[in-house]
Amino acid sequence: MKVFKFGGASLETIERIQHVGKILQAFPDDKILVVASAMGKTTNELEKVAQNYFMRKREIAAQLLFNIEQHHIQLAEQLLGTNEHPLFTQLQQFFTEVEWTLGEKPLRPYDYYYDQMVGMGELLSTAIVSAYFNHVGIRNTWVDVRDVFRTDDNFRDANIDWEVTQQQVTEKVLPLFDDTNIVIAQGFIGSTDQNESVTLGREGSDFSAAVFANLLNAESQTIWKDVEGLKNADPKLFPDTVNIPEIGYGEVIEMAFYGAQVIHPKTIKPLQNKQIPLYVKCFLDKDLPGTVIREEADNRKLPPLIVLKKNQVLITITARDFGFITEARISDIYEIFHANKIKINLTQNAAISFSACIDNNPEKIELLIKALHSGFKISYNEGLELLTVRHYTHSNGLVDSLTKGRKILLEQRSDSTIQIVMR
């Protein structure tokens, strides 16, 4: 059993959908659970529908939804060569679900309505892809993952009920492989015990694939991307990046924690628990080696791993009575950050001050400062960058070259990692 995940870029054109089919056909003897995202920028478009609906701009929301509907129907007609296929009834049912919501007044929190609308993108894409593959002889079975993944009602970042979901996978998904070698499901979404749709948060489709891999005891999970594999830095920011053939689970979690747009830690954990390797392969050339993420990878062979977070703010907090920043006061400060849902990227404390580097979110920072104001004096610097280099000792002079001509406001260094807040 293998689990394959295809992102939205893999499904945004007819040619790319056909290419996905060729990849699947290259594994004729394997049972494959496919997890797919919404096509192209569909999620962004559905977010606009939800936003306009919640702002009570129903006519705009309805027009945006109609545009999405027409795009998907036209694509399906081109793929199937007809509009008489049962797929079109299925697509209409999905749009009717959202239209019902648009007809209601928004009486619940925004996150609830977001999940009822935005998760439809995955249902549309997988239904179309499944119907097309069956049409051209790539036999498969489509499954609605909302009937499989049971979650709580933490909308937009729902948590999996592992026990119930395992039962559903065993009873509803595994038997499907008796009839076909390919089962196609959605990423990013699930359902509460009240049958309310939910989404699973950032990188939700990668995580969905990892949940399936864990519960199916898969031999591997593969994420198909339009890159050769993982690199040691973002090639959009750094010109001389190198490919990473293999890397450990823990190292990927470290990189993600520091802000690298690699694999979300939430995806790694279900795989690590059962020692399932994760492959990052090139969608455009399946024969390239890509990257394998596994426990036994030799991290000593890794190049320096570079992460740069832009648009940072360095906040310095000082007690109004100039008292020491004790453990009790640090605990109070962390509690205030947590209450305002602010992630701290780097901290440093001195005798009478505590500094934190955070993402620049003006609305959250304003609330944070108000909450801290009664007990502390606040100063902060904006327009900063946070540079993190793992294994920085593997390359002489690298850090100096990356910080040349920059003003360094804060620096922390360990045997393996250096972090620098700079302007």
For tokens 């950050």, name the residue.
Answer: 337
Q: Percent of the chain beyond pLDDT 70? A: 100
pLDDT at 395 over 80: no
What is the average per-residue pLDDT within 232-248? 92
**Cα distance between residue 119 and residue 46, in whole Å:** 8
**Cα distance between residue 181 and residue 140, in whole Å:** 7
Domain boundaries of the chain, sorted by first residue = 2-225, 305-422
**Cα distance between residue 314 and residue 297, in whole Å:** 35
Residues 6+ apart with CB under 8 A from 138: 21, 24, 25, 182
Residues 26-47: pLDDT tens digits? Answer: 999 999 999 999 999 999 999 9
Q: CA neighbours within 13 Å on the CB side: how many for 302?
A: 28
**Cα distance between residue 70 and residue 57, in whole Å:** 20
Residues 201-225: pLDDT tens digits? Answer: 877 999 999 999 999 999 999 999 9
pTM value > 0.75: yes
Strands 246-247 and 291-293: parallel
**Cα distance between residue 150 and residue 194, in whole Å:** 10
- Angle at the Cα of 278 from the Cα atoms of 216 and 259, rounded to 5 degrees: 125
Asked if 73 contacts 83 with a C-beta cutoff of 8 angstroms, the reply is yes
pLDDT at 256 over 90: no
Residues in the chain: 423
Please give the CATH topology (third level) of the domain spanning 305-422: VC0802-like (3.30.2130)
- 250's enclosing H/E stretch is helix 249-257
pLDDT at 339 over 80: yes
pLDDT at 111 over 80: yes
Q: Which CATH number fits domain 2-225: 3.30.750.80, 3.40.1160.10, 1.10.3720.10, 3.90.1150.10?
A: 3.40.1160.10
Which of 162-176, 247-261, 300-314, 380-394 is the most confident on average?
A: 162-176
Average pLDDT over all residues of the chain: 95
pLDDT of residue 358: 97
Q: CA neighbours within 13 Å on the CB side: how many for 263?
A: 37
Alpha-carbon distances, residue 420 vs 188, 234, 245, 306, 355 (angstroms): 34, 17, 27, 12, 13
Residues 138-148: pLDDT tens digits? Answer: 999 999 999 99
**Cα distance between residue 205 and residue 199, in whole Å:** 9
Residues 311-328: pLDDT tens digits? Answer: 999 999 998 888 899 999
Asked if 381 contacts 313 with a C-beta cutoff of 8 angstroms, the reply is yes
